[in-house]
Amino acid sequence: MTSSIEIQNFIIELIVNETKIDRSSIDIDASFQELGLDSINSMFLLEEIENKFQLTLSPLYFWDYPTIRAFSGLISEKLL
């Protein structure tokens, strides 16, 4: 079983690779927009997350679960 922390770390690494911001400056309670993600970055992130966890996710989840903490919680629930 994948923990919420492992999911958060995976998402953080994706954001670091996509935006080139320093990992230590990422706040898991900041919105994806605050972290510099736009709609194109978000679609890349969504695809990577779907592939990693073998899920199908709606792009609208980025608005319904707008932070790393909230989004990873959603993924964790879906993996149960």
Q: Does domain 4-78 have CATH number 1.10.1200.10?
A: yes
Q: pLDDT tens, 24-71? A: 999 999 999 999 999 899 999 999 999 999 999 999 999 999 999 999
Could you state, in order of their start, the residue ranges of all structural domains in the chain?
4-78
Concatenating the DSSP letter of every residue in 32-74 gives TTTTT--HHHHHHHHHHHHHHHT----TTHHHHS-BHHHHHHH
Q: Is the pTM of this model over 0.85?
A: yes
67: phi then psi, degrees, rounded to nearest 5: -125, 165
- Name the band, by pLDDT with cuts 50, 70 and 90, for residue 75: very high
